[in-house]
Amino acid sequence: MAYEYEYPRPALTVDCIIFGLDKDELKVMLIQRDLEPFEGRWALPGGFVRVDEELEAAALRELSEETGITEVFLEQLYTFGDLQRDPRERVVSVVYYALVNLEGHKIRASSDARNAAWFPITDMPPLAFDHDKIFDTALKRLKGKIRYQPIGFELLPEKFTLSQLQNVYELILEKRLDKRNFRRKILKMHILKELDEIQQDVAHRAARLYSFNEKKYRQMMNKGFSFEI
């Protein structure tokens, strides 16, 4: 079956840039291409948007096909449309970024035959298409956004310690934070629920666990509260 249009149309794809926290490292999921162009190169997962499919649904589908993840923080990043970004034809790509925790979910590396892997953001291979540019844009967005929206929690398991949370901020902002000041600041916001549980299986004093109180956060947002680290 073929479709006819009066004017040529750009192709429309979605790509996903999936950030995952693995112990003390921030990583990105990449897929090794098995076809030309850029055969053998690593690339962001993505694919065509079906004509009867929402953009976000397409991103979720790609994400689920590649990683098996279903519940995840997902947000539109930017739309990339440079004329030469794909050597085959004009392709405009709406890019979403996702934040996941690699310990909480058991994430399979890949669901199909393609080779998929997590790469530390400090040690990325050269990417196919304009995906290096997309990666830079995503990282910049992440750095900006984490300071004034509570997305740091999305990278952690539901229950986490304050040190883990601080570690997320230090990784993304690329600077050391003062432990006492960080704790005072984040606790003063009253958006964390202090649990009656402690860390397990660590070779030192076990830390208290907290969870993000999203309901409270929404209530406070509606009253003009503004998150800021």
Partner DNA sequence: CCAAAAGTGTTCTCCATACACCCATGC
Partner DNA sequence: GCATGGGTGTATGGAGAACACTTTTGG
Binding site for DNA (CB under 7 A): 161-163, 178-181, 183-185, 198, 202-208, 228
Say which entry of a second copy, DNA, none residue 7 contacts (CB below 5 to 8 A, set by partner kind): a second copy
Alpha helices in 111-209 (DSSP H): 131-148, 162-173, 179-188
Select from 10-18, 122-130, 185-193, 200-208 the region that touches a second copy (CB under 8 A): 10-18
Q: Can you read off the two tokens belonging to residue 82? A: 């440079």
Q: Compute the CA torsion angle 159, 59, 221, 181 (nearest 10 deg).
A: 50
Binding a second copy (rule: CB under 8 A), the pick from 35, 51, 113, 203 is: 51
Distance CA 20, CA 38 (A): 25
94 forms part of the interface with a second copy (CB under 8 A): yes
Q: 3-state class of 193 per DSSP? A: strand
Kindly state whether residue 6 participates in binding a second copy, applying the rule CB under 8 A: yes
> Structure tokens of 175?
């600077």
**228 near a second copy, judged by CB under 8 A:** no
Largest CA distance in the chain: 69
Residue 88 within binding range of a second copy, rule CB under 8 A: no
Q: Please, which residue, 50 or 108, has the CB nearer to a second copy?
A: 50
Phi, psi of 178 (to 5 degrees): -75, 125
For residue 7, state whether it binds a second copy (rule: CB under 8 A). Answer: yes
Contacts with a second copy by CB under 8 A lie at 1-12, 48-55, 76, 78-79, 81-83, 90, 92, 94
